[in-house]
Amino acid sequence: MSSNDALRERFEEFVAGYLAEEDAILQAIRIESEKAGLPEIQVKPLDGYLLQWLIYLINAKKVLEIGTLGGYSGTWIARALPEDGTLITLELEEKHAEVAQRNFTRAGVGDKVTIIQGKALDHLPTLETGIPFDFIFLDADKASYPQYLAWSVEHVRPGGVIAAHNVLRRGRIFNPPEDANDEGLLVFNDMLMTDSRLRAMMIPLGDGMGVAMRR
Ligand code: SAH
Ligand code: MG
C-alpha cells in the first residue's frame, strides 16, 4: 500500500465518521447477509451515503437498482426516498432476493421496495411502473454494464441520474481485460464518459462510482 492509499483511506474514514455511520439495522443487514452465505460485496457506508446524497439532490422518487444482493445498498437508497418514493431492485439469485426481502422488512422499508428476481436483462424490457426513473443504480454483473447503461440512458428522465458501482475494479481497468467482466467495465466506462446525452463524472471513492446526469 502506498502512502497515497493510506492517506486516501484515512480521509474516507474521516468523512464517513461524520456522514456515514452505520446504524444497528444496517449492521444487522450486513451480518445476516453474511450468515446466510451471501458474498460480502455490498457497497461501503460512504457509497451508500453518496447514493442518498444524489437522491436528495435531484429529489428522486422513482429509483431502479440492478443487483440487490442482501438489500444493503437498497436500504440506504430506500431510506432517502420520500413517503411516496419507490425502489424497484433486480436480483438474479433467488436466495439473495429472499435474504433481501427479510432485510428490507427488518429495516421498515419493505412497503417502498419491490424485488424482481431473475436476469436483469430479461426483466428490464418488461418494466412498466417507474418509467422514466429519476435515479438508476447499477451494481450487478459487470459484463452486462454496457447493456444496462444503454437501457438506462433511454429510461431515466432528463435531469435524472445513473450511478454505477465498481468502475475502478480495484485497478483492473488499467490492465488488459482477463474476463467478460473486465471487458464490460472497459466498454462501460468509455460509454459513460463519451455519450453526448450524458454529463458524466467518475468519483474516485472506494472502488469508484461512475455518475452521470441525463441531459
Ligand atoms: N448493490 C448490492 C450489491 C450487489 S452485488 C449492495 O451494495 O448491497 C451484485 C449482485 O448482482 C449479486 O447479488 C448478484 O447475484 C446480482 N446479479 C449478478 N448478475 C445478475 C443479473 N444478470 N441480473 C440481476 N442480478 C444479477
Ligand atoms: Mg458493487
Ligand index nearest the alpha carbon of residue 67:
1
Mean pLDDT of 176-204: 98
Residue 95's pLDDT is: 98
pLDDT band of residue 129 (cuts 50, 70, 90) is: confident
Residue 1's pLDDT is: 60
pLDDT band of residue 81 (cuts 50, 70, 90) is: very high
Mean pLDDT of 168-193: 97
Q: Is the CB of 47 under 6 A from ligand 1?
A: no
| Strand extents, DSSP E, 5-148 | 62-66, 86-91, 113-117, 133-138
How much is the CA Rg of the chain, to the nearest whole Å?
A: 16
Residue 125's pLDDT is: 96
CA of 154 to the centre of ligand 2 (A): 23
Contact 85, 63 (CB under 8 A): yes
Residue 149's pLDDT is: 98
Strand bridging mode 133-138 / 86-91: unpaired
Tell me the pTM. 0.98
Mean pLDDT of 137-156: 98
Check whether the bond before 177 is cis (ω within 30° of 0): no
Residue 122's pLDDT is: 98
Ligand 1, closest atom to CA 33? 8
Mean pLDDT of 61-69: 98
Calculate the CA 52 to chain-centre distance. 11
Residue 3's pLDDT is: 80
Contact 82, 58 (CB under 8 A): no
| Strand extents, DSSP E, the chain | 62-66, 86-91, 113-117, 133-138, 156-165, 198-203, 209-214
Of 115, 141, 152, 166, best ligand 1 pocket probe by most atoms within 8 Å of the beta carbon: 141
Task: Tell me which residue of 84, 93, 188 sits closest to 138, measured CA to CA.
Answer: 188
Mean pLDDT of 54-73: 98
